[in-house]
């Protein structure tokens, strides 16, 4: 018998031959015109699985598609301005004669004020915005319309605790006495007055209250979580109330609503647990119906309940819906819309007419914070009817906040938007959306439910990786061009050599490079070291300081004469003579940090009280030693991408990986970018930290790393997007004129680092994918760039590091100084990892750029 896998047939010589065949024989683009099907019908069957040739075709019965009504959006109007830095948490109710909108704003004294504004039959403001007197620390308003007037409920947080209040308002938004409940108080009607609810201590927060109307009843649902159960307060605002206890803690998150819908004697409750598990129940018990979802809502449809939510995988977010009939099994969850880069998207349901429902959502925030309104239509059985993917488009602050009122007499729905005015300021926008009952859309022009809506691909960059003209070329300076200089070594203690290693380099003003590394010397000893590489190519290294094995060098930078590195629990400093000193941080739970550029401080992010939130702290450095931290803001969990002093103010670029279902930190995941600006001398800084969330006014949504370039009015954002380096001016919190500056052609690439070095330069390292059949090694190809203050490429290297053993995907970074660049990289052999440096000399020619059309491929 022949040995295993030795075959008697000749083998193909090389696999590249195969591709040569595939790509060169008859390669062509798809035809632009296709004849209609002709010829005899042939047998069905024949797919790869159990392929066969039946005599007669067996066909699944055809399905007549549902016709898609023609829908249109009206003009988007700005109802009022919104406060920056907070979620307005707006609510909307429709009445036969108009509507009422409510939102939260920051008042003059920094308090959260509750506002209402009446709307006329067309949705235009019918009166001035009014502040609800007596509301203290208001949040999460809820509204429901009565025959005449409205009921408003909200969570109120006076200094002593937390409570849920309600008010009856007339059609103009003025307070009215309760019918059957005595008179209303100026401070609202605390639900606690009925003996159902006491003020709660901090930490036992209410979920957002929900209001529902069932016949003559107005039901307020407020839910409060204890350690072992969830207390539901069901307050019939016009009659008697009740309390229900669900014998499980729902892990209610602030802002999530417990929604209850009633139909006669049946009630369905929608709640969430663990942030992203959706529960449905009867009020006494709950069962999970979906996991990993966000932004859920529920609506009564003919003969059942429709639930809708968003779910995210990688960079794709889908809007999904499911109908649970009163009798029988729930329908298959159906996708209604799909987006690229739309984290934290929520869904609003609206009834348009008999048997027709709309699921409204907002698309992604693109480079310039533009998004659009998507309307997906479904019938009462949850069947997809059609999709209007871009009903209106506008600048947005977030895609999280969409609200819709019930369809009015003319069948139109109102949608509230967390938008931006042309100058970038926050505004409450509204648009009406209506669908025709007898005019149908051209099906050929309608996107499918699963059609991925995404931002336009980056336009052609001015420079590309294989066209080196325009920027100064950098090449290895050593005599032996393929050799690097060893900075430090690390010995594996566990199985994964690269996962254990952690290091950062600092470019000093005098040309030296200080390299901070946490390394394992032996099984027992882990230390942090700071070898220094001089301009004479010599490395000076001294003894390290003990470091814990779980520490990571989060960032490093030059602060005056010091090279500073920061880890989760300490600050390392060196004067560049190979020595190192360590100071502990007086701050716990740090998971990301940055050395402030142009200043003498560290910015740090700490684990927050919930997995979704973090604390941002400012730690001044005195002679390289951190002092008392100042709480700056409570922000969405993410990372600090850059921090710089600009005219005495600190600007921090933050990225949040928070996704619709809690998936996080994947490099491919969409990240929301926000810019936080503060004055470190402001004594009230810590007091405002709770109301200072920059992610309510994000700059953009992206996928790759980013950094700030320039200062003052010329400040720009530079970021990596789908193989292209792009930049755009920051103006009033919005990216203006985004454009591509560098690309890696069609083979794609991966950003490795975007770092500032000395003298205001920014260096970018990325790996370009190998070109098929042109790169013998099939290894990624590193590219180093230096970016000047104006955001243009001023130098590049496509040959460094020239060490063929460099672990490119593990990490390559670059530093720059004058006409020199330094490539930092790693090589590994056995259980030893070596950190290496390679000096590059750059040509002195003045860089120029070329038109995008000249050879750019994207």
Judged by CB under 8 A, which of 346, 398, 769, 802 binds other proteins? Answer: 769
Q: φ and ψ at 815, to 5 degrees?
A: -125, 155
Judged by CB under 8 A, which of 105, 257, 334, 726 binds other proteins? Answer: 334
Looking at the DSSP bridge assignments, the partners of residue 2 are none
- Contact flag: residue 124 with other proteins (CB under 8 A): no
Considering just the CA atoms, what is the radius of gyration of the chain in Å?
30
- Contact flag: residue 715 with other proteins (CB under 8 A): no
* Tokens (6 digits) for 639: 């990372």
d(CA 362, CA 339): 9
Taking the complex as a whole, how short is the minimal distance between the CB of residue 332 and other proteins, in angstroms? Answer: 4
d(CA 725, CA 752): 12
Judged by CB under 8 A, which of 297, 361, 453, 826 binds other proteins? Answer: 453
d(CA 496, CA 831): 9
- Contact flag: residue 2 with other proteins (CB under 8 A): yes
- Contact flag: residue 804 with other proteins (CB under 8 A): no
Taking the complex as a whole, how short is the minimal distance between the CB of residue 24 and other proteins, in angstroms? Answer: 9
Taking the complex as a whole, how short is the minimal distance between the CB of residue 4 and other proteins, in angstroms? Answer: 6
d(CA 719, CA 658): 19
Judged by CB under 8 A, which of 181, 204, 213, 383 binds other proteins? Answer: 383
Choose between 92 and 669: whose C-beta lies nearer to other proteins.
669
Judged by CB under 8 A, which of 30, 183, 227, 354 binds other proteins? Answer: 30
Judged by CB under 8 A, which of 31, 202, 523, 846 binds other proteins? Answer: 31
d(CA 758, CA 762): 8
- Contact flag: residue 389 with other proteins (CB under 8 A): yes
Identify the sign of the CA torsion 186, 188, 190, 191: positive
Please list every residue from 640 through 659 that binds other proteins, using CB under 8 A.
Answer: none
Taking the complex as a whole, how short is the minimal distance between the CB of residue 109 and other proteins, in angstroms? Answer: 30
Judged by CB under 8 A, which of 456, 480, 713, 774 binds other proteins? Answer: 456
Judged by CB under 8 A, which of 94, 320, 397, 518 binds other proteins? Answer: 320
- Pick the piece of the chain touching other proteins (CB under 8 A) from 24-32, 399-407, 567-575, 816-824: 24-32
Q: φ and ψ at 17, to 5 degrees?
A: -60, -35
Taking the complex as a whole, how short is the minimal distance between the CB of residue 287 and other proteins, in angstroms? Answer: 10
- Contact flag: residue 1 with other proteins (CB under 8 A): yes
Taking the complex as a whole, how short is the minimal distance between the CB of residue 832 and other proteins, in angstroms? Answer: 24
- Pick the piece of the chain touching other proteins (CB under 8 A) from 401-409, 414-422, 468-476, 525-533: 414-422
- Contact flag: residue 414 with other proteins (CB under 8 A): no
Choose between 420 and 817: whose C-beta lies nearer to other proteins.
420
Residue listed under structure tokens 């027992």: 524
Judged by CB under 8 A, which of 84, 325, 662, 770 binds other proteins? Answer: 770
- Contact flag: residue 327 with other proteins (CB under 8 A): no
Spatial CA neighbour of 69 closest among 434, 574, 390, 382: 434
Pairing assessment for the beta strands 526-529 and 539-540 based on DSSP bridges: unpaired
Judged by CB under 8 A, which of 224, 297, 311, 655 binds other proteins? Answer: 311
Those residues whose C-beta lies under 8 Å from the C-beta of residue 311, and which sit 6 or more positions away, are 290, 292, 293, 294, 317, 318, 320, 660, 661
Q: Measured in Å, how far apart are the chain's first and last C-alpha atoms? A: 55
- Contact flag: residue 758 with other proteins (CB under 8 A): no
d(CA 427, CA 84): 9
- Contact flag: residue 77 with other proteins (CB under 8 A): yes
802 alpha carbon, distance to own chain's centre: 36
Those residues whose C-beta lies under 8 Å from the C-beta of residue 494, and which sit 6 or more positions away, are 500
Taking the complex as a whole, how short is the minimal distance between the CB of residue 673 and other proteins, in angstroms? Answer: 18
- Contact flag: residue 75 with other proteins (CB under 8 A): yes
d(CA 709, CA 566): 22
Taking the complex as a whole, how short is the minimal distance between the CB of residue 548 and other proteins, in angstroms? Answer: 32
- Pick the piece of the chain touching other proteins (CB under 8 A) from 187-195, 207-215, 393-401, 463-471: 393-401
- Contact flag: residue 774 with other proteins (CB under 8 A): no
- Contact flag: residue 239 with other proteins (CB under 8 A): no
d(CA 532, CA 541): 6
Asked if 110 contacts 688 with a C-beta cutoff of 8 angstroms, the reply is yes
Judged by CB under 8 A, which of 23, 110, 549, 584 binds other proteins? Answer: 23
d(CA 651, CA 633): 13
- Contact flag: residue 422 with other proteins (CB under 8 A): yes
Choose between 177 and 748: whose C-beta lies nearer to other proteins.
748
Taking the complex as a whole, how short is the minimal distance between the CB of residue 69 and other proteins, in angstroms? Answer: 16
SS3 16: helix
- Contact flag: residue 844 with other proteins (CB under 8 A): no
d(CA 266, CA 264): 6
Judged by CB under 8 A, which of 70, 185, 393, 664 binds other proteins? Answer: 393
Those residues whose C-beta lies under 8 Å from the C-beta of residue 28, and which sit 6 or more positions away, are none
| Residue environment code for 152-176, b if the CB has 16+ CB neighbours within 10 A, otherwise e | bbbbbbeeeebbbbbbbbebebebb
- Contact flag: residue 25 with other proteins (CB under 8 A): yes
Judged by CB under 8 A, which of 183, 332, 354, 713 binds other proteins? Answer: 332
Number of residues that bind other proteins (CB under 8 A): 125
Taking the complex as a whole, how short is the minimal distance between the CB of residue 188 and other proteins, in angstroms? Answer: 33
Asked if 820 contacts 795 with a C-beta cutoff of 8 angstroms, the reply is no
- Contact flag: residue 384 with other proteins (CB under 8 A): yes
Pairing assessment for the beta strands 532-533 and 370-379 based on DSSP bridges: unpaired
Identify the sign of the CA torsion 743, 744, 746, 752: negative
Choose between 319 and 595: whose C-beta lies nearer to other proteins.
319
- Contact flag: residue 22 with other proteins (CB under 8 A): yes
**x-or-dash pattern for other proteins, window 433-452, by CB under 8 A?**
----------xxx-xxxxxx
- Contact flag: residue 306 with other proteins (CB under 8 A): no
Spatial CA neighbour of 101 closest among 125, 75, 136, 74: 125
d(CA 630, CA 609): 17
Choose between 419 and 599: whose C-beta lies nearer to other proteins.
419
Please list every residue from 35 through 64 that binds other proteins, using CB under 8 A.
Answer: 35-63
Judged by CB under 8 A, which of 522, 668, 713, 774 binds other proteins? Answer: 668
Choose between 1 and 159: whose C-beta lies nearer to other proteins.
1
Choose between 703 and 821: whose C-beta lies nearer to other proteins.
703
The H or E element that residue 135 is part of is none
Spatial CA neighbour of 427 closest among 367, 347, 388, 369: 369
**x-or-dash pattern for other proteins, window 274-293, by CB under 8 A?**
----x----------xxxxx
Taking the complex as a whole, how short is the minimal distance between the CB of residue 134 and other proteins, in angstroms? Answer: 33
Looking at the DSSP bridge assignments, the partners of residue 602 are 595, 619
Please list every residue from 775 through 794 that binds other proteins, using CB under 8 A.
Answer: 778
d(CA 705, CA 370): 20
Judged by CB under 8 A, which of 89, 207, 270, 455 binds other proteins? Answer: 455
Choose between 538 and 804: whose C-beta lies nearer to other proteins.
804
Judged by CB under 8 A, which of 224, 322, 614, 797 binds other proteins? Answer: 322
Choose between 41 and 109: whose C-beta lies nearer to other proteins.
41
Q: DSSP string of 151-197?
A: EEEEEE--TT-BEEEEEEE-TTS-EEPPTTS-PPPTT-EEGGGGTS-
């Amino acid at each position: 018998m022949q040995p295993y896998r030795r075959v008697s047939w000749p083998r193909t010589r090389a696999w590249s031959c195969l591709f040569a065949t595939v790509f060169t024989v008859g390669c062509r683009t798809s035809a632009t015109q296709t004849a209609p099907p002709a010829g005899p019908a042939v047998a069905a069957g024949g797919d790869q699985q159990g392929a066969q040739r039946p005599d007669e075709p067996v066909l699944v019965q055809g399905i007549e598609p549902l016709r898609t009504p023609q829908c249109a959006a009206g003009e988007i109007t700005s109802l009022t301005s919104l406060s920056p830095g907070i979620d307005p948490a707006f609510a909307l109710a429709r009445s036969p004669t108009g509507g009422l909108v409510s939102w939260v704003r920051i008042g003059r004294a920094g308090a959260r004020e509750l506002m209402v504004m009446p709307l006329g039959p067309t949705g235009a403001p019918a009166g001035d915005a009014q502040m609800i007197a007596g509301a203290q620390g208001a949040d999460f308003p809820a509204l429901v319309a009565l025959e005449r007037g409205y009921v408003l409920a909200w969570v109120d947080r006076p200094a002593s605790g937390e409570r849920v209040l309600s008010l009856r308002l007339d059609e103009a938004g003025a307070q009215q006495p309760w019918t059957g409940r005595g008179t209303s108080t100026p401070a609202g009607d605390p639900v606690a007055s009925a003996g159902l609810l006491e003020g709660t201590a901090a930490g036992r927060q209410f979920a957002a209250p929900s209001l529902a109307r069932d016949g003559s009843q107005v039901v307020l649902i407020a839910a409060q979580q204890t350690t072992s159960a969830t207390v539901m307060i069901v307050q019939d605002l016009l009659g008697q109330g009740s309390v229900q206890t669900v014998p499980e803690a729902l892990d209610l998150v602030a802002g999530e609503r417990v929604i209850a819908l009633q139909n006669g004697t049946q009630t369905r409750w929608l709640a969430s647990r663990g942030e992203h598990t959706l529960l449905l129940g009867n009020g006494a018990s709950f069962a999970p119906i979906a996991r990993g979802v966000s932004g859920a809502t529920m609506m009564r449809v003919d003969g059942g309940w429709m639930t809708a939510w968003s779910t995210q995988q990688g960079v794709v977010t889908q809007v999904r819906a499911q109908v649970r009939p009163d009798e029988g099994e729930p329908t298959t969850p159906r996708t209604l819309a799909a987006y690229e880069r739309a984290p934290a998207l929520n869904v609003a349901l609206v009834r348009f007419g008999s048997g027709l429902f709309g699921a409204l959502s907002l698309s992604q925030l693109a480079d310039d914070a533009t998004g659009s309104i998507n309307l997906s239509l479904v019938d009462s059985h949850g069947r997809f009817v059609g999709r209007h993917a871009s009903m209106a488009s506008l600048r947005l602050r977030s895609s999280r906040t969409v609200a819709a009122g019930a369809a009015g007499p003319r069948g139109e729905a109102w949608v509230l938007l967390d938008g931006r005015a042309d100058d970038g300021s926050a505004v409450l926008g509204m648009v009406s959306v209506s669908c025709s009952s007898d005019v149908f859309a051209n099906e050929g022009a309608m996107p499918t439910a699963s059609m991925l809506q995404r931002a336009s691909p980056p336009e052609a960059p001015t420079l590309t990786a294989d066209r080196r003209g325009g920027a100064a070329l950098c090449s290895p300076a050593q005599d032996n061009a393929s050799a690097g200089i060893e900075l430090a070594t690390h010995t594996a203690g566990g199985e994964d050599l690269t996962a254990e290693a952690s290091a950062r380099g600092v470019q000093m003003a005098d040309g030296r490079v200080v390299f901070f590394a946490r390394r394992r010397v032996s099984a027992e000893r882990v230390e942090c070291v700071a070898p220094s590489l001089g301009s004479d190519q010599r490395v000076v290294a001294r003894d390290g300081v003990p470091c814990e094995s779980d520490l990571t060098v989060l960032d490093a930078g030059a602060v005056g004469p010091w090279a500073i590195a920061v880890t989760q629990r300490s600050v390392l400093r060196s004067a560049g003579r190979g020595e190192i000193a360590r100071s502990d941080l007086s701050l716990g739970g740090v998971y990301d940090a940055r050395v402030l550029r142009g200043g003498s401080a560290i910015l740090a992010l700490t684990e927050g009280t919930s997995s979704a939130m973090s604390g941002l702290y400012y730690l001044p450095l005195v002679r390289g030693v951190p002092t008392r931290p100042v709480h700056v803001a409570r922000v969405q969990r993410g990372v600090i991408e850059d921090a710089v002093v600009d005219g005495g103010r600190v600007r921090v670029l933050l990225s949040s990986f928070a996704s619709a279902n809690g998936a996080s930190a994947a490099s491919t995941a969409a990240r929301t970018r926000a810019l936080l600006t503060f004055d470190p001398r402001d004594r009230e800084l810590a007091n405002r930290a709770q109301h200072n969330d920059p992610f309510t006014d994000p700059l953009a949504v992206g996928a790759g790393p980013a950094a700030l370039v320039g200062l003052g009015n010329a400040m720009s954002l530079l970021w990596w997007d789908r193989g292209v380096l792009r930049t755009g001016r920051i103006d009033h919190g919005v990216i203006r004129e985004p454009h591509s500056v560098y690309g890696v052609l069609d083979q794609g690439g991966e950003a490795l680092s975007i770092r500032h070095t000395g003298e205001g330069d920014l260096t970018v390292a990325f790996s370009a994918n190998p070109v098929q059949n042109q790169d013998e090694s099939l290894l990624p190809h590193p590219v180093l760039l230096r970016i000047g203050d104006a955001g243009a490429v001023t130098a590049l290297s496509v040959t460094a590091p020239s060490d063929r053993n460099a672990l490119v995907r593990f990490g390559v970074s670059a530093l720059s100084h004058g006409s020199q660049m330094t490539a930092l990289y790693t090589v590994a052999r056995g259980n030893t990892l070596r950190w290496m440096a390679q000096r590059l000399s750059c040509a002195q020619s003045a860089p120029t750029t070329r038109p995008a059309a000249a050879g750019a491929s994207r």
